[in-house]
Amino acid sequence: MPPTPRMPAPTCCRRRRSAADCPGDSLLDRVRQRHRDVNELAAAGLSLSAIGRRLQLDHKTVRRYRHNGLEDLLASARDRGAGVLDPFTDYAQHRFKAGCTSSMQLYRELLALGYAGGYHVVNRYVMTIRNGVAIPAQAVTPSPRTITSWIMRPQETLRLSDTGQLESARDACPEITAACDLAREFTDMVRHRQGHLLRE
C-alpha cells in the first residue's frame, strides 16, 4: 500500500521554523494570517477541533475565524489595537448581554466611567459584539470582600460599573442573590430603626 501523502502544513506552521520568518508584529497582519490558515485547513477537510490542535488555538477562536468574514475580524482587531477602549470592553459586553444594545447609550456610560475615546470606536465595537466576532469578555470574579461591600452599601452610592458586576454575580449564583436580598432587608431595618420587623 502506498504511503498516505502528508498534507502540507499551513503557512503559519511552516514559518514557525525560523523566528526571522515569522509574521510581523502587526495585529492586522496576524489576523489576516490566522484567517487564511484556519480556512486553508477547513477547506482541506479538517474539523474545527483538529484545526485548533494544529494551530494551537482555542476552539472558540477557530470557530470565530472560520465563521466570520475577514473584514469583520479586522474591524474587531482595529478596535483592540486602538487601546483606548481596552479597559472597557468587558463592561461593554456585559451591558450588551444585559440588554443595552444602543451604541450611544453605551458610549455615554463609558464616558461616565472615564473612557476618553470617540463614539465611532464604541459603535464599531458594538457591531463586533452584535456580529459575534468580539473576543469574549472575561468572567467577572470579584472577591467575596468586594461583593460584601457592594451589598452593604446603599445602592444609590454604587458606581455604575459596581452595580453591573454585582448584578452579574447575582445572576451567576442564587446563593449570592439570596444573601444580597437578606442583607439589604436587614440593613434597611437597622438604618430605619425597624427592629419590630426582625422576627418576620
The residue whose grid cell reads 445602592 is 155
Query: pLDDT value at position 176?
Result: 84
Residue pLDDT, tens place only, 166-182: 887 788 788 888 888 88
Find, among 21, 51, 53, 26, the residue nearest to 36 by Cα: 51
Query: pLDDT value at position 80?
Result: 60
The DSSP code for 25 is: S
Q: Which three cell numbers stand for residue 19?
A: 523566528
Q: Calculate ∠ Cα 175-162-116, nearest 5°.
A: 150
DSSP for 118-144? -HHHHHHHHHHHHTT-SPPPPPP---H
Mean pLDDT, the chain, whole residue set: 78
CA–centroid distance for 27 within its chain: 18
Tell me which range, 41-45, 60-64, 141-145, is most confidently predicted by mean pLDDT.
41-45
> Residue ranges of the alpha helices (H) in 16-118?
27-43, 48-55, 59-67, 70-82, 89-97, 103-113
Tell me which range, 25-34, 108-117, 185-194, is most confidently predicted by mean pLDDT.
108-117
Residue pLDDT, tens place only, 46-91: 998 899 899 988 888 888 898 888 887 877 776 665 577 878 888 8
Query: Alpha-carbon distance 134 to 79, whole Å?
Result: 10
Find, among 61, 58, 41, 113, the residue nearest to 84 by Cα: 113
Query: pLDDT value at position 79?
Result: 60
Collapse the DSSP code of 40 into the 3-class scheme (helix H, G, I; strand E, B; otherwise coil) and give the result. Answer: helix
Q: Amino acid letter at 44?
A: A
Query: pLDDT value at position 45?
Result: 92
